[in-house]
A and B are shown apart, each in its own frame.
Chain A
Amino acid sequence: MSDTAASSVERIVVVGASAGGFSALQTIFSQLGSEFNFPILVCKHLGIGDEKGLVNVLAKRTGTTVLLSQDKLPMHNGCIYLAPGNYHLQVESRNTLSLSIDDRVCHSRPAIDVLFESAADAFGENVTAIVLTGANSDGAAGVRAVKEAGGKVVVQSPGSAEVKAMPKAAIKTGCADAILDLAGIADYLKQQ
């Protein structure tokens, strides 16, 4: 985990969630377990101090390393990285994460668009972006960027989402490659 040179990250998965996301993330990651060999970056809209609970829950559900992201943290396959409250999480390079306190996007910091756009920039076609339940349109601009770079876009089916607005906004971009319920998303990730 501390060895920066050894990591060879070929592709990443970025996940965006807002209202209702805590339970959606738990469901997906319970089913996924530790069966993945790429970094997963999660941007869930949350307040400062709410992070610890989510880190602990995801670690418990997956049995893998879950880290609250810090600036210039090296990325490793098989680990989950969570955006901290009040910072945007970005993919800085093929090996490193970075943070910023730039203006809120869609009233949010961390913002899903910021994560997705930086992921598209650093990984091009080797990005899978997943948009889950939420009440705003954060992530829509992000999936466009991912799609334009040649990556894959998966959206939670609005019918299965606790709050439908965010998946609907993502689907409306016309960029979704798959629209799945939570179990379907977990399966999709297993096959990656």
Chain B
Amino acid sequence: MTETYQDLELQLLLEAVKTRYGYEFTHYARASMMRRIRKHMRAAKTDRISDLIPLFIHDETAFAHFVKDMSVTVTEMFRDPDFFQALRKNIIPLLKTFPFIKIWHAGCATGQEAYSMAILLDEENLLDRCQIYATDFNENSLKIARSGIYPDSELSLYEGNYSKSGGYSSLEKYCSRGYDSIKFNGRLLEHITFANHNLVSDGVFGEMNLVLCRNVLIYFNSELQDRVLKLLIDSLRSRGILCLGRRENIQFSQSSEQLETIDRHQRIFRKKV
């Protein structure tokens, strides 16, 4: 009984949000979304999901917090070093055969992985031939990403990841330090375009050689996963490379037949001709 009402309340809340602000969360995966909604219920000291409807409709700041919470900002430099190592070893040689390389990093959050990619490309003497498009729907995250400034306290974690990923020297070569922060060199940023893009409502990015979308699809339900996976594949040129998160699946998706597996463990795929 209560469960039925909960579904109804959730549906009404998401419809209200869509109508009022244009944000479409209807096809987000339920469990993660419920965690976020509960967090907002605790903050607003409300017992019911539907109590959030007037709050979000009338209080733009409260809703902005919700949007911020709905976008996952957990990321780090060279996250999953094994993945970056596989990229360096097996994918970079493929990319080297192209005169110009376009890379789309979908769901880049605060940008650390886009800088990681730029560093990797620089070490492989490819950066000057590359353009990285790093996108997210969270403007707040993009602001941090564009600044290239991160807390100094993260540097040892980042250095560890970088070294495990097969990095050639030291991250410090690519950043300056001060005010308890690190700031990545502007030279890296010259090859990165940070832009707002919502995978749920926005369109295809054209003719990419490489698309990274790691641990984003897990926040969508199966229907939306299918739709976004198709968008990612449509954004690739023929034989372009798609990288997903370590425990993500394409086996349940209709688009999976358009891809062949290059590295099963690291979830690296190639678009078929």
Contact = CB atoms under 8 A, between A and B. Distances in A.
Interface range for B? 20 to 34
B147 interface: no
5 contacts: A48-B80, A70-B249, A72-B218, A99-B247, A101-B218
Interface in A39-76: 48, 68-73
A128 interface: no
Contacts of A101: 72, 74, 215, 218, 245
A71 B249 contact: yes
Contacts of A69: 247
A151 to B, nearest CB: 13
Contacts of A162: none
Given A69-B247, A72-B249, A124-B3, A100 B31 contact: yes
A17 to B, nearest CB: 20
Contacts of B212: none
Instruction: Give the one of A69, A99, A117, A124 with max B CB within 10 A.
Output: A99
Contact of A70 (B38, B219, B248): B248
B217 A92 contact: no
B247 A121 contact: no
A44 B32 CA distance: 19
A92 B247 contact: no
B235 to A, nearest CB: 21
Given A101-B218, A124-B3, A118 B247 contact: no
Given A71-B247, A92-B29, A98-B29, A121 B72 contact: no
A118 B218 contact: no
B129 interface: no
Contacts of A102: 32, 35, 72, 74
Given A69-B247, A70-B249, A99 B34 contact: no
A84 interface: yes
Interface string B213-250: 00101110010010000000000000000000111110
B179 interface: no
B90 to A, nearest CB: 20
B30 interface: yes
A143 interface: no
Interface string A80-108: 00001011001111000011111100000
B168 interface: no
**Closest 10 A/B residue pairs (Cβ):** A90-B31, A118-B31, A71-B218, A100-B32, A101-B215, A70-B247, A92-B31, A99-B218, A101-B74, A84-B247
A71 B50 CA distance: 29
A15 interface: no
A124 B4 CA distance: 12
A90 B38 CA distance: 15
Interface string B24-37: 00000111101100
Contacts of B246: 84, 86-87
B38 to A, nearest CB: 8
Interface residues of A, number: 27
B243 to A, nearest CB: 15
B43 to A, nearest CB: 15
Contacts of B248: 70-71, 99
Nearest to A90: B31
A24 B35 CA distance: 29
A117 B72 CA distance: 19
Given A70-B249, A99-B247, A122 B217 contact: no
A103 B74 contact: yes
Interface in A96-141: 98-103, 114, 117-118, 121-122, 124
Given A4-B252, A93-B30, A98-B29, 9 more contacts: A68-B247, A70-B249, A90-B31, A91-B31, A92-B31, A98-B31, A102-B32, A102-B74, A117-B35
Interface in B172-226: 215, 217-219, 222, 225
Contacts of B245: 71, 101
A72 B222 contact: yes
A100 B247 contact: no
B10 to A, nearest CB: 11
A71 B225 CA distance: 11
A177 B31 CA distance: 26
